[in-house]
Structure 1
C-alpha cells in the first residue's frame, strides 16, 4: 500500500511539473524559463524537481522522448503499408493508417505538442518527429525497391522530403489551432488534399523495367 501511495505521489508530481512546463512555454518560452519558474508554477520545492530531472533541458528531453517513443510504437504496425498507400493507393478516399495514427497520437497530447511546436517551444522537435516517420517510411520503401521509381530527374530524398512535408505541414497547422478538429476529420481533409496535390513523384515501375532489374 505504501509503495502504491509513493508511486501515485510521484506520478502526480511529474504531471504537475509537465503542466507547469507547458504553461511556461506559452507564457515565457522555453529559452526564458528556469527551474525556479517551473517549481513555483508546479507548487513544489527545488529538491523535488531535482529528484526527477537535472535541469530544464533534461525535462524537455524526457518529455519529448516519451512522446516520440509513443509515436514510434503507434506507427509500428501501420507503417509497412504506408508506401503502399502513398504510391499505389494515393487516390484512395480512405486516409492512410500512418496519418491517422500520427493524428491520434498528437491529439491525445495536443496541448503539450502544440507548445513544443510553437515559436516559444523547441525548434528541433518537428525534425525529431519527421525522423521517426522517415525511418519507417524508408524501411517500407526499401521493401518496394524493385517496384517503385521516382519521377524523372528528382532525387529520391527530395521526393521523400516533399511527400512528408506536405502531410506534416497540415498536421502542425491543425494541432496548433485553439480548437483542433477530431483526428478522423483531419485525416479525411489530408486525404482530399493529397488527391489534389502534386503526388506524382512516386509511381509503379513498368513491367519491362522491373523485369530488366531482376535479370
Structure 2
C-alpha cells in the first residue's frame, strides 16, 4: 500500500511521477524572495476562464512566456496582458531547482521556459485539469510547494478517474511526465493556517517547457 505520509525523500505516485519530500527546503527563502521580486513587476491576479469564471487562485508568471486565460481562451503569451511588458525572467534559483529535480526524476533534458506562480489563500482550490497548452508533451511538469500544506489530487488520463490524494507540505517537489504527462490533477480547497514563512498563504511554482 502506498504511504503518502511517509517522510522518506521519494514517493512514486504514478508511472513516471514522483514526489520528492523536502527537495526545495535548502533554497526556500531564496525562492520566496524571488516570488516577491516577480510579484513586484507582474502582480498576482485572479484570471478569468473562457467560460467567464474567476479563478480562486491568484496567479502570475515568469520566464520567456507566461500562461494566461481570459474569455478568448487558454494560451502562453510573451507579455503580461496587464502591463504589456515582458514577464520577469526566470530566476536562476528557479531554473536550477526545476532542472535538477527533473533530472533526478529521469528527465535530464528539461530546461523550463515558463513558470506559473500560484498564490493560494484559505478556500482557494484548483479543479481537476490537464496541462496541455504546451507544444511538446515529452517534457515533464515540475511543481514546487511552499507555505501552508495542501492536498494534491493526482488522477488518470480521464477526468472521471478517481484521483490519488497526495498531502504536500512546505518544500515538497512533484515531477510528472512520460506516461503521466497528461493526467488530470488539481488541488483541494486550502485549509486555513499560519506558516512561519508565508503566513496564511501557499505558493506553488509550476515549471513547464512551453515552446
TM-score calculated relative to the size of structure 1: 0.23
The structure with the largest alpha-carbon Rg is: 1
